[in-house]
Amino acid sequence: MQTTLRGVGVSHGVAIGEVRHMGTAVLEPPAKQIPAEEAEREQGRARQAVEAVAADLIARGNLAGGEAQHVLEAQAMMAQDPELMADVERRIAVGSTAERGVYDAFAAYRALLANAGEYLAGRVADLDDVRNRIVARLLGVPMPGVPDSDEPYVLIARDLAPADTALLDPALVLGFVTEEGGPTSHSAILARALGVPAVVALPGAGELAEGTVIAVDGSTGEIFVEPSAEKRAEMESAAAARKAALSASSGPGATSDGHKVPLLANVGGPGDVPAAVEAGAEGVGLFRTEFLFLDDSKQAPSEEKQVAAYRAVLEAFPEGRVVVRVLDAGADKPLDFLTPADEPNPALGVRGLRSLLDHPDVLRTQLTALSKAAQGLPVHLEVMAPMVADRADAKAFADACREAGLQAKFGAMVEIPSAALRARSILREVEFLSLGTNDLAQYTFAADRQVGAVSRLQDPWQPALLDLVALSAEAARAEGKSCGVCGEAASDPLLACVLTGLGVTSLSMGAASIPYVRATLAKYTLAQCERAASAARAADSAEGARVAAQAVLSGE
């Protein structure tokens, strides 16, 4: 008998297949004591296992490329954390085996992360995966992971570690469903990059029996258990229609009556550019520059290294628009040379622009590198600051850009509610706004973007979040300036229509989502989008907003 479950859809598409579960987690190693004379040998074993796991993560990242590479490199740095390794060696020195020392040291660090604020708590799943890999290597047992199968299947897991998600074979893994995670978790981001349908934050997903046939709708978040023949046919027909619409859609983003809505790509570095170009991106709406700085947490990359990386992206979009976000360090992306080590809640502390203003030499070098990278190119370079709270922040950033001789538009990200509420004031100092809806939702609802238990508050359809988007867009319109969205909200085709109706002037997303958004926008007029936006804002819940907007656009 068909039953319906609902999680959070995070990657478009339909998958119908049998359930396969992720492998069992590594068992806790026994707590036995070793003689003092064996401590040095055990410490050596632990170091070798850590280095081997870090090397494996980096190798997986090199194979995957793009966004996955950056995530896995960050995990490798986590494995090699010197303080964590020092704790492992201390535990071994007083009698623990290598595997037990690793297990207990990671457990202590895990507890710190879980209580250290929203961003760091969201990295617990990544930390658990690193621990499991090291312990498995020390125990000499296979690493739990994606099951072996000759037939395509739908993968079920409590959560998916980046190392597993990055190398999923779309020919075998039709889609995946997790109990944990949220719309902006690493699993969700990498699923979109792979183009694999995915649903996260589904309570009880692990209870689905192995071999059960399920149908997954990665757009709506619905899971149909043992779907009827009629439901299968309906979903397959809808998927075929969507595929045909994607094939027929090309060119710049626009509504059916010709209102232009540039569709841009979010990229993390040169490796993400080919997919963006292939998807028909009209430029880059969010160039995350952290990838350069995460290579070495001890010091900033040289100006020359930065120039080369920036130019590789700028050259890919001749005469296009490329919006670069300067370094957004802190919280879940700590850097030894930049980030305070003793903040009780890093997500609410010195991060983003605040860190750069405390280290003006780092900001000056980055702005100078961007200026040099753009020299002689016809590209339209725009540079924006993360975590802008008020007009004073915006002015400080604009002044720094001018002092560096940067010939570009200067902008501010709206990620803090205060920036949306005072957007018009901020626009007196900068030339554009870009809404980071992931962080804006997190700070508006006090809801960690990585925790599945509060995923309903991370839903970009929340009417309160739409109100803040509308405030920002109205302020930009009043000042004759632009206001884009570069958060994951832009990748939802239906929500893209609502954002357009709210007055947003451009949409930036992962490359895989661009064809879906382009095809959907082309079906509706601007007036229809505006009516859908009004209906969504009048609702009292995210689900109510989604249903109301859909009703307007479907003519109900």
439: DSSP letter: H
Residue 555 has φ and ψ, to the nearest 5°, of 80, 20
Residue 5 has φ and ψ, to the nearest 5°, of -120, 160
Residue 432 has φ and ψ, to the nearest 5°, of -160, 160
Angle between helix axes 98-114 and 124-139 (nearest 10 degrees) is: 180
**Which tokens belong to 226?**
């043992």
Residue 96 has φ and ψ, to the nearest 5°, of -80, 150
The sign one gets for the Cα dihedral 488, 490, 493, 494 is positive
Instruction: Report the C-alpha gap between 314 and 303 in whole angstroms.
Output: 16
539: DSSP letter: S
- Nearest CA-CA partner of 444 in 410, 473, 422, 414: 414
- Nearest CA-CA partner of 360 in 390, 317, 404: 404
Sheet holding 222-225, edge to edge: 3-6, 222-225, 213-217, 14-21, 153-157, 173-178, 198-200, 8-11
Cβ atoms 262, 432 nearer than 8 A: no
264-293: b or e for each residue (b if 16 or more CB lie within 10 Å)?
A: bbbbbbbbbbebbeebbbbbbbbbbbbbbb
CA 368 from chain centre, in angstroms, equals 27
SS3 at position 25: coil
SS3 at position 216: strand
How many CB atoms are located within 10 Å of the residue 540 CB? 8
Catalytic residues: 186, 486
Instruction: Report the C-alpha gap between 304 and 365 in whole angstroms.
Output: 10
CA distances (Å), 229 to each of 2, 158, 205, 215, 218, in order? 10, 29, 22, 11, 19
Instruction: Report the C-alpha gap between 316 and 273 in whole angstroms.
Output: 7
- Nearest CA-CA partner of 134 in 114, 163, 155, 112: 163
